[in-house]
């Protein structure tokens, strides 16, 4: 059996471009994409056009949903919100559990969201580095091997991109995968193994971040 799992990190976020946004934001740990991030998301969508992706899963944070929505529009697919792909709920970064838009509110903004989908894996604040890797790895394995044998796309965050890849290919992902903004990881299932074919590809982007904040 052959299957491809694409894992993408979200595009550039507003607070990376304008750090002062954080000071007055209503949901300060849930920033939207920046203007250039929207461009990156479109470039990602064009990169994945013509593939055989059957399902799109996204972390329920706004920046991942916006990134996934660009791809969903291009591929004419729904978006399934999967909590297991969430941002690392790191107490060093966050003083409290992040406030996000509810699923109904997101679905109103992004009609491609499949409100009937039930998330498979939970994420609980606070999390250690080991916990986010375990959680996102479990999510990738669960979706790819138990429920969705087709080619799938997971849209996640730096830590959950790495954890998702590790969940499929093991410890090799820890040193091989580079999760820069809007990059792509490609994992191919060739029974009985999962093989890394792309480890953080950004060839679809016209502008690449100079400092990788998560690698």
Q: Which phi-psi region, left, alpha or beta, contains residue 185 (left: φ > 0; alpha: ψ -120 to 50)?
A: beta
DSSP 8-state code for residue 26: T
DSSP 8-state code for residue 101: -
**pTM given for the model:** 0.96
Q: pLDDT tens across 75-114, in order?
A: 999 999 999 999 999 999 999 999 999 999 999 999 999 9
Question: What pLDDT, on a 0 to 100 scale, did the predictor assign at position 207?
Answer: 82
What are the boundaries of each domain within the chain? 2-201
Nearest Cα residue to 209 out of 174, 175, 182 = 182
Q: Which tokens is 126 given?
A: 């606070």
Sheet strands (E) in 22-150: 53-58, 79-81
Q: pLDDT tens across 149-166, in order?
A: 999 999 999 999 999 999
Q: What is the mean pLDDT of residues 141-155?
A: 95
Instruction: Report how far residue 135's alpha carbon sits from residue 86's, in angstroms, rounded to the nearest whole number.
Output: 9
Nearest Cα residue to 160 out of 134, 124, 199 = 134
Question: What pLDDT, on a 0 to 100 scale, did the predictor assign at position 36?
Answer: 95
Task: Give the residue, 214 or 195, on which the prediction is more confident.
Answer: 195
Instruction: Report how far residue 135's alpha carbon sits from residue 140's, in angstroms, rounded to the nearest whole number.
Output: 9
CB contact at 8 A, 130 and 32: no
Q: How far is CA 209 from CA 51, 172, 181, 182, in A?
A: 26, 24, 7, 10
Q: pLDDT tens across 172-190, in order?
A: 999 999 999 999 999 999 8
Q: Which fold has domain 2-201?
A: Rossmann fold (3.40.50)
Binned at pLDDT 50, 70 and 90, residue 62 comes out as: very high
Question: What pLDDT, on a 0 to 100 scale, did the predictor assign at position 180?
Answer: 94
Q: pLDDT tens across 5-47, in order?
A: 999 999 999 999 999 999 999 999 999 999 999 999 999 999 9
Residue 213 pLDDT greater than 70, yes or no:
no
Binned at pLDDT 50, 70 and 90, residue 215 comes out as: very low
């Amino acid at each position: 059996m052959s299957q491809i799992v694409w894992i993408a990190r979200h595009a550039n976020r507003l607070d990376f471009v304008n750090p002062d946004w954080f000071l007055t934001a209503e949901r300060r740990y849930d920033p939207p994409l920046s203007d250039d991030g929207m461009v990156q998301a479109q470039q990602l969508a064009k990169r994945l056009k013509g593939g055989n992706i059957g399902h799109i899963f996204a972390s329920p944070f706004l920046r991942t949903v916006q990134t996934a929505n660009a791809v969903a529009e291009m591929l004419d697919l729904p978006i399934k919100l999967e909590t297991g792909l969430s941002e690392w709920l790191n107490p060093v970064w966050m003083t409290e559990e992040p406030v996000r838009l509810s699923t109904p509110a997101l679905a109103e903004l992004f009609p491609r969201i499949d409100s009937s989908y039930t998330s498979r894996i939970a994420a609980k604040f606070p999390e250690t580095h080991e916990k986010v890797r375990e959680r996102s790895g479990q999510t990738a394995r669960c979706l790819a091997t138990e429920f969705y044998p087709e080619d799938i796309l997971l849209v996640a965050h730096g830590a959950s991109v790495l954890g998702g890849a590790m969940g499929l290919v093991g410890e090799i992902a820890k040193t091989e995968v580079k999760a820069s903004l809007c990059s792509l990881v490609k994992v191919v299932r060739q029974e009985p193994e999962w093989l890394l074919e792309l480890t953080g590809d950004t060839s679809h982007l016209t502008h690449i971040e100079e400092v990788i904040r998560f690698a």
